[in-house]
Amino acid sequence: MFNAVIDAPFGKVGIRLDGEAVREIVYLPASTRNIEPDTPLARQAVEQIERYFEHASAHFELPLAPVGTAFQRRVWQAISDIPAGTVLTYGQLAKQIGSVPRAVGQACGSNYFPIVIPCHRVVSSSGLGGFAHHAEDGFFLNVKRWLLAHEGIPYA
């Protein structure tokens, strides 16, 4: 199912490949079993994600599978341009790309490559907002809080 599963400060991260590209990165609970990387690309993805856990300013250079709609890819590209330690609201990002906040939020939640495409850097105008299509407090919002705090942006 996964080409690698690694420890993360908030649980685990699973990595799926599709040939010579990363197909998906998934946040998983701490109870998930680790899986050693089974390909050079899986090892490369693990190394880059672990580097991010050490240094929030780390950059990613991974081949990403061509997934998502044209609109989602446009949103994800705009998200990729947000530097570590910076947040934009859904509305700010929507204005930047000529869209509306709800559509941007849906595209953020559908991100196949969290951490690499840092959707955690997009928040609600009234607070944290949702994460990975989860609006209720729990595991996913705790992941978002950790990622933002790691980058120096605390959210209660």
Q: Which residues are catalytic?
A: 119
Q: Which of 41, 51, 53, 72 is nearest to 8 (CA)?
A: 53
The DSSP symbol for 120 reads: G
* 78: CB partners within 8 A, 6+ apart: 93, 96, 97
- Residue 144: HSE in the Cβ half-sphere, 13 Å Cα cutoff: 26
